Amino acid sequence: MYVCICRAVTDTQIRSCVNEGACTMRDLRNELGVATQCGRCALTARDVLNEALAEVGQDIAGAA
């Protein structure tokens, strides 16, 4: 699903960034440009970021 219409950023791209090490909204802004124009996507982007971080944390915990 599209999270940021202005920059055409999807939830899949955000999850991919998290898998590559992004862990903050600042990281997403720098890598994808999320929330740099109108800002309407910021809350949804943060939700996707938090979900992806939780998934990564679970994967790491499950592998240990």
In the numeric block, the tokens 């939830």 are attached to: 11
**Is residue 60 classed as helix, strand or coil in its secondary structure?**
helix
Fold of 2-63: Arc Repressor Mutant, subunit A (1.10.10)
Residue 63 has pLDDT above 90, yes or no: no
Residue 10 has pLDDT above 90, yes or no: yes
Q: So where are the chain's domains? A: 2-63
- Percentages helix, strand, coil for the chain, rounded to the nearest 5? 60, 10, 30
pLDDT tens, position by position, 36-47 = 999 999 999 999
Residue 60 has pLDDT above 90, yes or no: no
